[in-house]
Amino acid sequence: MYSVKVEANFSSAHNLRNYKGKCESLHGHNWKVEAVVSKDRLDKAGMAMDFEELKGELKKVLRKLDHSYLNRIAYFKKANPTSENIARYIYDVLKIRIKDIARVTVWESDNSCATYYGE
């Protein structure tokens, strides 16, 4: 099995619902996102996936999130904009474009992250 990983960033604000603590108030993060593709075989060029292609697709997804108030995005009107749900949202959108997406990890700080692996 081969895996390739790219990273990208976005900045946004959110507040958590059904939560008691500091994060129930409006606040922001500079998020780091890691997207991983896994494949059993390499292509003719010897790659699981071109890094530039993967990074480009990830950046397309992050454009909608960057400099936004996540709670106003349709998906997060139903799903609480937790790191876990943000990872799932990014994974689900990428899965439409990249069938071999294996996981997405979202870092909300240098030492806190959540990963979604898919069903």
Question: Phi and psi dihedrals of 73, rounded to 5?
Answer: -75, 135
Of 57, 108, 113, 119, the active-site residue reads 108
Could you confirm whether 27 is annotated as catalytic? Answer: no
Of the residues 7, 24, 27, 67, only one is catalytic, namely 67
CA 54 remoteness from chain centre: 12
Cβ pair 18, 80 in contact under 8 A: yes
Instruction: Kindly name the residue from 23, 53, 84, 113 that is annotated as catalytic.
Output: 23
Is 108 in the active site? yes
Provide Rg for the chain, Cα atoms: 15
14 is catalytic: no
Residues that are catalytic: 23, 67, 108
